[in-house]
Amino acid sequence: MSASSGAQAFDADGRLHRARQIASPNFDGRPAGEALRLLVVHNISLPPNEFGGPGVIDLFLNRLDPGAHPFYAAIAWLRVSSHFYIRRDGELIQFVPCARRAWHAGASRWNGREGCNDFSVGIELEGSDFVPFRDAQYDALARLTRELMAHYSIQAVVGHSDIAPGRKTDPGPFFDWPRFRALI
């Protein structure tokens, strides 16, 4: 993919034209002059280890019903988001424009810098640490990564566990890094 095709894929605020857009209120501005340098791959499922429902979207939109599942009562108060979410079937949803800071990394560190949300794009894969990801997800993630790399000065792609070791485990042991790297 050429740089120009990556540039054409996004609007001026960093919305990917081909992604389904669902605006999360959980974002703010990046620090002035801060360039995107990092892609962070996560996994998420709500309820835990269940796929296909509205839980993740509801969490990112601050409308998770604490009574809908026992686990939700402990997390419904969270204000979190991600730039992108890739469902099990490969559907790509964007919650926060890339020019804005999504709240996905939490306490984090990369190359000696704290606060990875300042300079990263968060990509959530619908999944868990206990099941393999699907072909459609690898294909969608690889295409998205190529588009982001063509448009931004991305220096690395890491897992959440790489920037928050001991606190986070995602994307987990079933994420096939060699397969993903071969696709990009």
- The string of pLDDT tens digits covering residues 42-90 is 999 999 999 999 999 999 999 999 999 999 999 999 999 999 999 999 9
Whole-angstrom distance, CA of residue 53 vs CA of residue 105? 23
What domains can be seen in the chain, in order of their start residue?
Answer: 3-183 (3.40.80.10)
Q: What mean pLDDT is predicted for residues 122-126?
A: 98
| 67 close to 47: Cβ distance less than 8 angstroms | no
Whole-angstrom distance, CA of residue 72 vs CA of residue 121? 25
pTM: 0.95
DSSP label of 116? G
Element (H, E) at 147: helix 135-151
Q: What mean pLDDT is predicted for residues 88-96?
A: 98
Q: Which residues are catalytic?
A: 124
pLDDT score of 6: 59
Sorting pLDDT into bands at 50, 70 and 90, what band is 2?
A: very low
> Tens digit of pLDDT for each residue in 132-151?
999 999 999 999 999 999 99
User: Strands, DSSP E only, in 71-146?
Assistant: 84-86, 92-94, 100-102, 109-110, 113-114, 120-126
Sorting pLDDT into bands at 50, 70 and 90, what band is 8?
A: confident
| 9 close to 143: Cβ distance less than 8 angstroms | no
* pLDDT mean across residues, the chain: 95
pLDDT score of 53: 96
Sorting pLDDT into bands at 50, 70 and 90, what band is 7?
A: low
